[in-house]
Amino acid sequence: KESKVIFASADRSIKQEVFKFGAIEFLDKPFSQKKLVNAVNKCLDIEEL
């Protein structure tokens, strides 16, 4: 089973690079609880497909 990765960083210059390595979502720090929940839901939705 494949793991889903949500990447969080204050360094926005790496945003495009993390997707090359399979990240599902990138969160800019600081991020809200709502953004984190949305990212987790996105990962769960992908898994259901």
Which pTM does this prediction carry?
A: 0.81
| pLDDT score for 15 | 95
* Among 2, 10, 1, residue whose Cα is nearest residue 23: 2
Question: Per residue in 20-41, pLDDT tens?
Answer: 999 999 999 999 999 999 999 9
Whether the bond between 30 and the residue before it is cis, its omega within 30 degrees of 0, is yes
